């Protein structure tokens, strides 16, 4: 992987991180959790998007799978918006 791609992926990950923390699917940040609380899930999202290049519908389905848990209630109304933002970031950063 060349330096330009690493830079693009890092910028993309930063955007995804900010958005996931903003949408806070399990309301953890709102309850005082650290901002790295979702990092392993964000890594999963970024890897999926970079490697699979999904369309918006598939991305939304994958986000439901990634963030679904029995421990926390999922803010399902936010997943569609989160998917749309992540998809748009990918198009902006990678152009396909």
Write down the pLDDT at residue 74.
Answer: 78
Write down the pLDDT at residue 1.
Answer: 66
Write down the pLDDT at residue 78.
Answer: 85
Range of the domain at 51: 3-94
The span from the CA of 10 to the CA of 22, in Å, is: 18
**Average confidence score pLDDT of the chain:** 92
Closest alpha carbon to 93 in 18, 8, 20, 6: 8
Indicate the number of domains in the chain. 1
The tokens describing 74, both together, are 């999922």
- Using one digit for the tens of pLDDT, what is the confidence trace for 59-94? 999 999 999 887 777 777 789 999 999 999 999 999
Is the pLDDT at 36 greater than 80? The verdict is yes
């Amino acid at each position: 992987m060349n330096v330009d791609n690493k830079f693009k992926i890092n910028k993309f990950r930063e955007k995804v991180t900010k958005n996931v923390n903003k949408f806070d699917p399990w309301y953890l940040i709102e309850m005082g959790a650290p901002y790295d609380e979702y990092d392993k899930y964000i890594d999963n999202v970024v890897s999926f998007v970079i490697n699979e290049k999904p369309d918006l519908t598939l991305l939304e389905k994958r986000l439901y799978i990634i963030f679904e848990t029995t421990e926390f209630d999922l803010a399902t109304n936010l997943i569609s918006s989160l998917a749309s933002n992540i998809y748009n970031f990918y198009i902006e950063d990678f152009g396909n």
